[in-house]
Structure 1
Amino acid sequence: MSSPDSLPLVTIVALCHNHARFLEPALDSILAQTYPRLEVFLVDDGSTDDSVAVLRKYAAAQPAWKTVFLPKNVGNCAAFNRAFFQSQGEYIIDFATDDILLPERVARQVAQFQQLDASYGMLYGNLELITEAGEFQRHFHRPDRAGQLQPRPASGWVFEDVLQRFFISAPSMMMRRATLQALGGYDETLAYEDFDFWVRASRSWQFYYQNEVLTRKRLHPRSKSVQGYRPNDPLLASTSVVCRKALALCRTSAERAALAVRVRWELRQAARFGSLPQARDLYGLLREIGGMRLPEHAIGAYLELRRLVGH
């Protein structure tokens, strides 16, 4: 490897909210990185468990690490931005501290980014999904019977893919600083960050799939990925906002059709789980996009009936 001073600086924003029982393996995985030029921010987003005590212990042992301890919970987007706008790294990793970085994670991703031109704003890869106790469950991208990875990864200009389907696992991402800076960081009005980043970034930058497993993502009951579609779910409300942003960015009929696929799926989930205000908003958006189908007309009639009877 080159002299550390000649390597790009990589910022890891380690974002914690009530992750006390997962923090030690997460932070140890930062210490185990083989890449020598890291800037680390430990961010606590108003935890009410013992997280801050653990973070302080690691910060005391690593004086170069920086800390951002927020007195109250402000949400992932705002908490991340507090560190991002202080950071200096050419590349950025948004690291949830219930996950684990494998030792070569940063080195392998920087090496890949160095082979790509400046039009690439983000790269991502495969990862291991582990249980709450840390046991391996499966890989995120898995080969089907034909040997093709599912969900199917995409590289290049992927705006249309991003609109239509879910194929990126956010914990595997490394972002180019210039990309995130141009977007003004994460949108702090949203309850989650990844879909909005994918939509806005893929409009102007290429993405690259690196077919390596460099991260372990922990699945547990409080993770955002298992909390969606409940009534008054803030994640679904944010999804609706992002879909409206996406419609404003669409340039072709194919892109609008891809967005309609996404909105139809979100609408059906919202109606199925009884998230009626969000379902109504998504139904209205689908009408704006065009391409309504019979099932969506049936959902519209159902929503109107619930409105008329006061639900």
Structure 2
Amino acid sequence: MDPFLNQHRPWVSVICTCYNQADYVIDSLQSVVDQRYANIELVVIDNASTDDSAGQIRQFCQQHPAVQFVQNTTNVGLCRAFNQGLALTTGDFVIDLAADDLLMPNRVARQVARFLSLPPFYGVVFTNAALISSQGNVMGHHFPLNAAGHASVPVPSGDVFKAVLERYFICTPTMMMRRSMLDELGGYDEDLAFEDFDFWVRSSREYRYAYIDEVLTQKRRLPHSLGQQITLPENALLESTLRVCFKANTLCQTPDERHALAMRVRQFIRKCFYAEQHELADKFGRLLREIETPDLLTRLILRLGHLKLPINGMYRYYLTRRAFKGGMRLEMKGV
């Protein structure tokens, strides 16, 4: 690529956070190096992995000396690790890359081009993603595809604040974020166990989101990933979610937004019930009553929670069976 043109292209910072991903981290980092876009800076934060992740990363850095590597001696959490990387980089746009996910070769170029076509109040550009197994086989897509290879369902864009309250629809690793927006937000909230819901709530109140209808990322689906832990008793994810819901309540401006939040809080009450986090369910219930009157089913679930029924094992067995049957269906369809 022409060095003169490179000087006039925005820089993109890719922050890769790693914890015990020795089997995948090299492929993930290589997908950054293989981008069809020159102005990329890459920083890797290893969060005190107990496997050979750090050794793998050091070998990669020997071959690519421009890569910055930080090896934490203790696991400081995902949000703080990302903020460490953010402080070391200067790119106009930022990608938060998990060490088991992969970027398609033209991803950075496509997202930068979209950003340059948008006004500055757009803070996030996101895309579709292929969902891959531990072996790298495609299992499906975040947004299902039609025959033309486009999303077969409507994808919210623009002002998505109400949509992020209603449901999970953004595939987190597909996001490219505007640096100035991250600086304004102060990065990720380090008091939380996970980053995306809080980031979506805070950023979408003031900034717009743009969707590119292309598969530009491969997201690995692993049985012990962070998102799967929400069903476990004593997991920290639901406590963090409650904090985010309180933040969201202060940011809601219309009755429709408050109703959307109330519907989501009802979902989290059920998740607390299944995870046997009954005191936390009561806290969600109190927040719900501040927003609107709980429906009959939610009141029943809150009452049943006081009985402290041992249902978590049965619930996780049900989820495992459902996931297995879903995987079998995908294999039969040749996905």
Provide the residue aligned with 1:207 in structure 2. Answer: 209
**Cα deviation, residue 9, structure 1:** 0.4
> Take 1:244 and 1:149, find their aligned partners in 2: how far apart are those partners?
32
Provide the residue aligned with 2:182 in structure 1. Answer: 180
Q: Give the 3-state SS of the residue equivalent to 2:23 in structure 1.
A: helix
Provide the residue aligned with 1:130 in structure 2. Answer: 132
58-67 or 123-132: bigger deviation: 58-67
Letter in 2 for 1:254: D
> Take 1:184 and 1:85, find their aligned partners in 2: how far apart are those partners?
11
Provide the residue aligned with 1:114 in structure 2. Answer: 116
Letter in 1 for 2:205: R
Contact 1:16 1:45 in 2 (8 A): yes
Provide the residue aligned with 1:221 in structure 2. Answer: 223
Provide the residue aligned with 2:66 in structure 1. Answer: 64
Provide the residue aligned with 1:254 in structure 2. Answer: 256
- Structure 1's 204 and 142: CA in aligned 2 closer, same or farther, altered over 3 A? same
Letter in 1 for 2:164: V
> Take 2:159 and 2:28, find their aligned partners in 1: how far apart are those partners?
32
> Take 2:98 and 2:164, find their aligned partners in 1: how far apart are those partners?
22
Structure 2: 5+ residue stretches without partners: 310-335
**Cα deviation, residue 222, structure 1:** 2.1
Provide the residue aligned with 2:20 in structure 1. Answer: 18
**Cα deviation, residue 303, structure 1:** 2.9
> Take 1:144 and 1:107, find their aligned partners in 2: how far apart are those partners?
24
> Take 1:61 and 1:219, find their aligned partners in 2: how far apart are those partners?
28
**Cα deviation, residue 40, structure 1:** 0.6
Provide the residue aligned with 1:270 in structure 2. Answer: 272
> Take 2:97 and 2:277, find their aligned partners in 1: how far apart are those partners?
30
2:99 pairs with one of 78, 97, 107? 97
Q: Give the 3-state SS of the residue equivalent to 1:88 in structure 2.
A: coil
2:238 pairs with one of 236, 239, 244? 236
**Cα deviation, residue 225, structure 1:** 1.9
TM-score w.r.t. the length of structure 1 is: 0.94
86-95 or 266-275: bigger deviation: 266-275
Cα deviations across residues 70-121 of structure 1 (Å, max 9, x unaligned)?
1011110000001102210100000001011110010111011111110100
Structure 1: 5+ residue stretches without partners: none
Provide the residue aligned with 1:300 in structure 2. Answer: 302
Contact 2:276 2:308 in 1 (8 A): no
**Cα deviation, residue 150, structure 1:** 6.2
TM-score w.r.t. the length of structure 2 is: 0.88
Provide the residue aligned with 2:167 in structure 1. Answer: 165
- Structure 1's 143 and 60: CA in aligned 2 closer, same or farther, altered over 3 A? closer
Letter in 2 for 1:90: D
Query: Is residue 303 of structure 2 the alignment partner of residue 289 of structure 1?
Result: no
Share of identical aligned residues, percent?
42
> Take 1:144 and 1:16, find their aligned partners in 2: how far apart are those partners?
34
- Structure 1's 270 and 152: CA in aligned 2 closer, same or farther, altered over 3 A? farther
> Take 1:280 and 1:148, find their aligned partners in 2: how far apart are those partners?
42
> Take 1:209 and 1:200, find their aligned partners in 2: how far apart are those partners?
18
Cα deviations across residues 49-77 of structure 1 (Å, max 9, x unaligned)?
00111111111221111111110111100
Q: Give the 3-state SS of the residue equivalent to 1:12 in structure 2.
A: strand
Letter in 1 for 2:94: I
**Cα deviation, residue 151, structure 1:** 6.0
> Take 1:151 and 1:45, find their aligned partners in 2: how far apart are those partners?
37
Root-mean-square deviation over aligned CA pairs:
1.8
**Cα deviation, residue 39, structure 1:** 0.8
Contact 1:230 1:275 in 2 (8 A): no
Provide the residue aligned with 1:197 in structure 2. Answer: 199
> Take 2:151 and 2:165, find their aligned partners in 1: how far apart are those partners?
19
> Take 2:24 and 2:164, find their aligned partners in 1: how far apart are those partners?
31
Q: Give the 3-state SS of the residue equivalent to 1:227 in structure 2.
A: helix
Provide the residue aligned with 2:82 in structure 1. Answer: 80
**Cα deviation, residue 292, structure 1:** 1.2
232-241 or 222-231: bigger deviation: 222-231
Q: Give the 3-state SS of the residue equivalent to 2:131 in structure 1.
A: strand
Contact 1:190 1:238 in 2 (8 A): yes
Contact 2:95 2:176 in 1 (8 A): yes
How many residues matched?
A: 306
